[in-house]
Structure 1
Amino acid sequence: MAARQTFLIIGIFVLAGFDGCFSVIPEEEQHPDFWYVKGKEALHTSLSMTRNMNRAKNLILFLGDGMGISTVTAARVMKGQMEGKTGEESVLAMDTFPHLALSKTYNVDQQMPDSAATATAYLCGVKANYGTLGLSAAARRANCSSAKGNEVKSILHHAKMAGMSVGIVSTARVQHASPAGSYAHTPERGWYSDKELTSEAVSSGCKDIAYQLVHNTDINVILGGGRQYMFPKETVDPEYSTVTGSRKDKTNLVDVWLSSRNNAKYVWNKQDFDAVKEEKTDYLMGKATSSIWRENFHLLH
């Protein structure tokens, strides 16, 4: 990328398992001194901490979708058991962060939240209604007319307006609610392409999420699934002959994105991705089909 500050939002979806229980009690854990020393070490670490007063160059937001306390605990236990231990005593990288906090997760209209309204909360700073994306709680799900005037801007958008480079990377579709919260404003999280738009949405002027990906915030890096939402239904996927685009408006959104940006590159396979010259690329879009992206995401590392 060109010499600019980079603000990167990354969506990572983690699956963790649980592998039974152990009955063997470690010898050292049977003695009080073991725990006293552990406690003193933890206190010493906290008391020795000094504030970092430097200005951050980059901000990276990692999101484990649905990754609450129970999922993190399961991951911690599994990590420890894979190392031959009981599991609970294991430490994840996030456990070592100097500052940690808990936040309440709910929607304005429901106790059990979804990815759209929660993405709106942590990216745009306001609680919202179930199924709505980038809108305040004044909007109603699947009601296009209620969305007008109730749009809220994300931290990614504000960073771009401040002159930073911005990006989203996801193991899901980039039009999925979690990453789309950084750029989209829609009363229905399921409006991935114009194929899903209702007649009310069309008549009221709402745009699908894939369209907004290209036309809303100017995003420098876009990597994830959802390739079919970017192409007309007449377009056969370059990788899977039985898959076609889903757009009804006959618009190739990738071409629209490329034609409106300088030094832009589009890739859909590892060979093209590896061939990208960073110093000559200000914009990068990498797209896979929705069903394949998660399986092949590791190939792009």
Structure 2
Amino acid sequence: MHIRTLRAEGTSENDLRRAVRVGEVERIRQGWYGLPGDTSDEVRALRVGGRLTCVSLLRMHGVWLMPDTRLHVAVSVARSRLCSPADRASGLGSSTDRPSVVTHWQPRLLNPLEPTEMFDDAAACLAICLPRDHAIVAFDSLLNSKLLSPERLRAALAGLPDSHEWMLNLVDAGCGSGLETLARLNLRRRHIRVRSQVHIPPVGWIDLLIGDRLVLELDSRAHHTDSAAYERDRSRDLALIERGYLVIRVTYRSVMQDWPAIERAILTVVRRKEHRWQPVHRAAGFATAP
């Protein structure tokens, strides 16, 4: 907590000095105090000499992000004045800095009494910090979870030194997970028509629909440990097949580590035009338009 906030709440200088002396409070950095042993990312960012931002801040809010263990810190002072997130007696970049620290330069920190950067600015930071697809994964999640509105995201991206509003053309707020976003972006590069979160009565919502009838379902990391979900999804797959759909179900691992194999299977179906309703399907009464 910042000393100005503590003073506003009635803490005197003598009270603060006594609390530090007896170990009830720890001085994190000049003007900042916290509980002893607090190793939260906010405290570590303050110890560096800045504010928590970018990936590190959005992760705290439950945004779907690609794996990134680095500590992202917004700073407005020279790197030579920055400290290790683990030990303010050591300079940034010391052997104790695990994981590594990414610093994002800001001419002025706009949240002086808070341990985090402004949320919208932290979201915009993703556009210049991460690979394009990784940033789109996060933007889809931000909009899907309603942590940001499209208007606020557009304004944040427009406010960057080099405007990144063009990225909104790739965003789909309907995507329910980063896996859906990654699959959608990969298929889009192949000029394959795909829609996110399509409702097919009476089965329910599916992850991605390619063309008219090829369903791509993406299982999360935790999915294989949930036997009830496993059984429920297989029942859904059977119901979709009964209604004329083709179903490809893939895992988190396969999307993240073996996407080419998934893409080859999808392209094989698309080249045979089996992702489209054919006359035989219409004759059987299957050709519906979800």
Indicate whether the TM-score tops 0.5: no
The structure in which a higher percent of residues are helix is 2
